[in-house]
Amino acid sequence: MSESYLDRLFGLKGQVAVVIGGTGVLGGALAIGLAKAGASVVVSGRDPEKGAARVREIEAEGGKGAFSPVDVTRRESIAGLLEHVLKTHGRVDLLINGAGVNNATPYFEIKDEDWDRVFDSNLKAVHWGCQIFGSHMAAKGGGAILNIASVTAHLPLSRVFAYSASKAAVINLTQNVARELAPLKVRVNALCPGFFPAEQNRKILDATRTENIMRQTPMARFGEADELIGATILMLAPVAGSFITGAAYYVDGGFTAMRF
């Protein structure tokens, strides 16, 4: 059967994708989505048990998956991840920088070590991923990188000062790296999720906070992890996303559209 028009636009058959943070709720959904679209997916994170479970999910859906550990707070670990994937898969075409942490603290109580921990995982690790994997992609003739930001990069949310600042910086970094790598045929974009059932959200959202967020979300519900897959594939797909770089896509049920 010949390839359909939609398969040609959005299909990832033959692509090798690395999902840093693929052991988490949102990163895991994206890893499964990429595999369903035809990519060979390397799930990466700190927990081998969660990684193995994610690979089993991918394979149960008929996809191709593997796990490779990484500690995003160490540059040499991210470099080692690339080296391992090159040995096992030969190249990397797509990268999702999806690892991240949060810290909900009143502003005057933020400790320096907590601020640094958030920025190391949420920003420095993204920079390292872009630099290390982007260099490989540029050398081989192209690729695509998707950095995970947040709606809090655009609108303030109480008690997550370090997280919001780090995600705003991720968008700025994405735009700058996209500009730098565009002549090298490497596209770099940012995905900005609204409120989804990620682990860090469950830790900080009490009943009052949830009510306030729902009041500011026109669709009046949390997102489902699978609802991030469409935008992700659009920005990573070599054909459908071929002219998309330096963009920040908000998938937030209308949260960023609200002002009052």
Percent of the chain with pLDDT over 90: 87
Residue 82: pLDDT above 90? yes
At residue 198 the predicted structure's pLDDT band, cuts being 50, 70 and 90, is low
Q: What is the structure's pLDDT at 151? A: 95
The catalytic residues are 163
Q: Which two tokens stand for residue 242?
A: 């071929």
CA distance 169 to 186: 20
Q: Which two tokens stand for residue 183?
A: 């002549």
End-to-end CA distance of the chain: 52
The highest-level CATH class for domain 12-252 is alpha beta
The order of strands in the sheet holding 143-148 is 64-69, 40-45, 16-20, 94-97, 143-148, 186-193, 248-251
Kindly list the distances between the CA atom of residue 65 and the CA atoms of 18, 37, 160, in Å, as whole numbers in the listed order.
Answer: 10, 12, 34
pLDDT tens digits, one per residue of 202-239: 556 677 878 888 999 999 999 999 999 999 999 999 99
